[in-house]
Structure 1
C-alpha cells in the first residue's frame, strides 16, 4: 500500500514541477510549485517524519510561497510571457547549460559514495524530530542555512529595486497643442 502512495505522490510532485517550469503565467507557475511542495510534505509524512512535513508546509508552501506571490504581484508579472526575447541566442545557451547541468548531475549520481551508512544517517535525524533537525541545521549545516536566509533577503531587496522606477519629471517646456481646423479658418 505504501508503494501505491509513493507512486501517486511522485506523480503529483513531477506534475507540479512541470507546471512550474512550463506555465507561461507566473501565478500559475507559483501554484504549481505549491502543489509540488505540498506533495513533498505528504511524502515526508508517509516516511514518519511528521515534523519535517509540517515544516515543509508552514515554511515553504506557506511563508516562502507568500513571498514569491508578493514579488510576482509587486512586479506585475501576472501577464503571460509573450514578448520576443531580445537576445537571440539565449535559448541555445539555456539548452547547452541544461545539458551540461544534467551531465554533471549524472556524473555525481554515478560516482556518489555515501560517507556514512544509511542506518546511521536515519538514526541521526530520529524520524524528523524538532531537536534532531535543529541540531543538524544549526551545527553541521549552519553555513548553507544562513546562505539561504541571505539569498532570500537579497531577492526581496532586488525585487523592490526592480519595481521602484524613476518618477518622470514634468518638462519645463509645455507640450504643443494641436491646432484645430476651425481655429485656422478664423485666423
Structure 2
C-alpha cells in the first residue's frame, strides 16, 4: 500500500510538472516520470506485461519521438509573449466540459462485460499472446484510433510550434562614394 501511495504521489507530481513547466524539455521529462510511475503501479498490481509495455512503448519510444520533435523544431525555449491562438482557451474549456460530461455518462451507464475472474482467465493472466490477440481482433478499431491520435498529436505539435521563416532584406548594391580627387 505504501508503494502505491508513493507511486501515486510521483504520478501527480510528474503531471503537475508536465503542465506547469515553461520549457518543453522539462515538461517532457515530467511526462517521462509520470509514465515510469504508472509502470511502477502496474508492476505492483502484478501486471508485468503492462508495466513492460508502458516502459518500452510510452516512456521509451513515444517520449523519444516527442523529444525529437521538440529538438527538431527548437521548441525547448520558454514560452514568452502573447498567445498566437487567443481562441484556444474557450475551446479548451468547451472540450473539457464535453469530456467531463462524457465521463459522467460513462460512470452512470457502465456495465462490466465480463466478471473480473472470467476476463482474467480469458486473457490468461495478462500473457502477451492473448492480450495481443484480443487487441488486434476484438479491439482493433480502438487500437488503431490510438495510433491515429498519436499521429495527429505530433502533426499538431509541429503545426503549433512552427515559426514563420525569417524574411531576408534584399541586398543593395552599394557604390562607394568617390574619394576626394577621384573622378567618378
Please tell me the TM-score bracket, short chain as reference: 0.7 to 0.9
Residues 93-122 of structure 1, C-alpha deviations (whole Å, 9 max, x = no match): 322332332233123223322122122223
Structure 1: gaps of 5 or more residues: none
Contact 1:49 1:129 in 2 (8 A): no
Structure 2: gaps of 5 or more residues: none
Q: What SS does structure 1 have at the residue aligned with 2:76?
A: coil
Task: Compare 143-152 and 111-120 and name the one that shifted more.
Answer: 143-152
Higher helix share: 1
Structure 2 distance, partners of 1:159, 1:99, is 23
Structure 2 distance, partners of 1:92, 1:155, is 20
Structure 2 distance, partners of 1:178, 1:110, is 80
TM-score between both structures, scaled by the size of structure 1: 0.78
Task: Compare 57-66 and 118-127 and name the one that shifted more.
Answer: 118-127
Counterpart pick for 1:56 among 29, 54, 57: 54
Structure 1 distance, partners of 2:150, 2:111, is 31
Task: Tell me what 1:117 maps to.
Answer: 115
Offset at 1:134?
1.0
Contact 1:34 1:61 in 2 (8 A): yes
Q: More relative contact order in 1 or in 2 (CA 8 Å, sep 6+)? A: 1
Counterpart pick for 2:172 among 144, 161, 175: 175
Task: Tell me what 1:133 maps to.
Answer: 131
Contact 2:11 2:38 in 1 (8 A): yes
Task: Tell me what 2:83 maps to.
Answer: 85
Task: Tell me what 2:102 maps to.
Answer: 104
Contact 2:35 2:58 in 1 (8 A): yes
Query: What number of residue pairs does the alignment pair up?
Result: 180
Task: Tell me what 2:10 maps to.
Answer: 12
Contact 2:123 2:131 in 1 (8 A): yes
Offset at 1:169?
8.5
Root-mean-square deviation over aligned CA pairs: 3.3
